[in-house]
Amino acid sequence: MVHFVQRTQFVFLIAAMALLVILPVGARADISTGIDGIYFTDSLTTTNSPKDTKIYYDFSFYLSLYNKSNVFFGATYIGYSSTDTDSSAVTTTWSAQDYGFSAKYYFGRQKAFSVAASYLISSTANYKLGTNTAEIWNGTGLQGKASYYPQIGENLSAGISLVYYNGTYTTSRSGATVTNVSKARTYIIPTISLVYNF
């Protein structure tokens, strides 16, 4: 399974780089890259002091098929982790990495607004509840993003985004045991966005 995932990642990266070679020079003029991220922590001072910490980030790379087009296609990589300690002092940890293909549409003055959608061909999550054995879940995911980032430089924009994510998992591995499952994780989270166009 590990070797299969590694091969899939390699094919994914090669395909993304091949787009730069295959597309004509004129089409490669419009390229957009971006990064989003947020760190969130919440704690309550009581006898058991429950605490919640979350970290989200994503990287994206887009190409426009036509010069001056508002429509871009590309790839996205997502990382998300959370640590939740409840009032009974039981800690649940979660970390996931996803990657897949995306489409993005810019609109508004100076293309300050955008909406994007991603189909994540690979989603791998590590889940651990208390002292139980950690489980590794594998599946796919979907991401939607609405953004506003006005220009702060000639090619640089910064702003905020609202991200919707849904991951669905079909296999779970715990030690050497692999089982078929039906699990999902969904969240909506605000992020800080930075975009560079060239």
CA distance 60 to 31: 11
Residue 136, pLDDT score: 94
Quick one: CA torsion of 77, 110, 145, 39, rounded to 10 degrees? 70
Which residue type is seen at 138?
A: N
Residue 18, pLDDT > 50, answer yes
Neighbouring residues of 37: CB distance < 8 A, sequence distance ≥ 6: 55, 56, 57, 58, 191, 192
Return the domain boundaries, the chain: 2-197
2-197 classified as CATH 3.30.9.10: no
Mean pLDDT confidence for 28-34: 77
Per-residue pLDDT tens digits for 52-108 = 899 999 999 998 877 778 899 999 999 999 988 887 778 889 999 999 999 999 998
Contact criterion met (CB below 8 Å) for 158 and 193: yes
- DSSP H helices, 28-109, are none
Q: Which of 45-49, 84-88, 138-142, 194-198 has the lowest mean pLDDT?
A: 45-49
DSSP alpha helix (H) spans, the chain = 2-22
Judge contact between 138 and 171, C-beta under 8 A.
yes
> How far does CA 65 lie from the centroid of its chain?
23
Tens-place pLDDT, residues 137-190: 999 999 999 999 999 988 899 999 999 999 999 999 988 888 999 999 999 999
The alpha carbon dihedral of 114, 119, 125, 130 has a sign of: positive
- pLDDT score at 2: 47
Distance CA 180, CA 173 (A): 9
